[in-house]
Amino acid sequence: MKRYNETLYDAWGQSFAMDEILFEAHTDHQHLVIFKNAMWGRVMALDGIIQTTEGDEFIYHESLTHVPLFAHGNARKVLIIGGGDGGMLREVCKHQNVEEVVMVEIDEAVVDMSRTHLPNHNAGAFDDPRFRLEINDGAKFVRETNETFDVIISDSTDPIGPGEVLFTQDFYGACKKALNPGGVLVTQNGVPFAQPEELTNTYRRQQAHFQDHTFYSAAVPTYVGGVMAFAWATDDEALRKLDLETLKQRYQASGIATRYYTPEVHQGAFALPGFVANLLK
Ligand code: SAM
């Protein structure tokens, strides 16, 4: 049987049996493959790196969506950068107070192929009337836009290839300008045990633009190497320090069903393991 061997790290990796290849091509931006695996369901990889699996995507997507949206409490306009598989969009669209969701994805083929081959990821969200798709480089979009957002979610690839610009100080500065007062930027920021520089670089680069910036975390099994870090950046420190009762009220009032997110997990996610906290000193 054919196997998919991830190439994220030179010295170590994970390997998946490819039970059936649903799509494989070099797009204008990257190598894209979507295949079936008996343990993880449908799996998407870009340029040799696993991006998402049906088995564990809920942990990642719920963490990057519901933590900022419930902390904000009244997000009406949300920007997703990347996110072509539609999983983030699906979770954002569960929030009834959201009136508009813009997704800026560089690679139209990822959106098209996810719509066809990863239907559980988007679950119809691409057809939500509140959704607008922009095919563009996310860094260019935020630099040039006059629109402003309550929450910006960067659901990017790693800082290699097209995703590299989404980890720069300029990008974080442009996001700051595109946020409404009290807005929050969250970004996928790799696995600190295996990618410590990704964490320290982001921390330093966000410091220039945000008064309250830190990370929260979740363990996503196919992003191997322990907990994954999500950067949290805002000027409103109170959002991160919301009390549990308020989070519980917002969660219950929303009626949103989640498999990973709970108000308790939300609060606990900001308690960083010692070695991660030490990287920020
Ligand atoms: N969850 C995954 C992870 O952490 O590995 C990433 C998800 S995947 C949907 C990331 C998406 O970001 C890809 O579809 C890719 O095409 C898109 N992307 C990469 N660089 C981009 C850029 N500069 N602007 C917009 N989208 C970008």
Are residues 42 and 64 located together in one domain of the fold?
no
Ligand 1 centroid to 203 CA: how many Å? 20
Are residues 256 and 162 located together in one domain of the fold?
yes
pLDDT at residue 225, as a whole number = 95
Are residues 136 and 219 located together in one domain of the fold?
yes
Written as tens digits, the pLDDT of the chain (281 aa) is 899 999 999 999 999 999 999 999 999 999 999 999 999 999 999 999 999 999 999 999 999 999 999 999 999 999 999 999 999 999 999 999 999 999 999 999 999 999 999 999 999 999 999 999 999 999 999 999 999 999 999 999 999 999 999 999 999 999 999 999 999 999 999 999 999 999 999 999 999 999 999 999 999 999 999 999 999 999 999 999 999 999 999 999 999 999 999 999 999 999 999 999 999 99
pLDDT at residue 232, as a whole number = 98
Distance of CA 184 to the CA centre of its chain: 13
Are residues 20 and 113 located together in one domain of the fold?
no
ipTM of this complex = 0.97
Name the domain boundary from 53, 70, 87.
Answer: 53
pLDDT at residue 1, as a whole number = 84
Matching residue, tokens 């308020």: 246
pLDDT at residue 48, as a whole number = 94
Q: Name the closest-CA residue to atom 20, ligand 1.
A: 163
Ligand 1 centroid to 159 CA: how many Å? 10
Are residues 47 and 162 located together in one domain of the fold?
no
For residue 30, the enclosing domain spans 3-53
> For ligand 1, is residue 60 a contact (CB within 6 Å)?
yes
Residue 11: Cβ within 10 Å count: 4
The domain that holds 72 is classified in CATH as: 3.40.50.150
Helix (H), strand (E) at residue 218: strand 212-219
> For ligand 1, is residue 110 a contact (CB within 6 Å)?
yes
Which residues are catalytically annotated? 155
pTM above 0.80, yes or no: yes
Are residues 36 and 104 located together in one domain of the fold?
no
Report how many domains make up the chain: 2
Q: Name the closest-CA residue to atom 19, ligand 1.
A: 163
Are residues 132 and 47 located together in one domain of the fold?
no
Contact 85/51 with Cβ under 8 angstroms?
A: yes
User: Is 144 annotated as a binding-site member?
Assistant: no
> For ligand 1, is residue 190 a contact (CB within 6 Å)?
no
Q: Which of 1, 39, 7 is nearest to 21 (CA)?
A: 1
Q: Please state, in angstroms and rounded to a whole number, the distance separating the CA atoms of residues 255 and 66.
A: 13
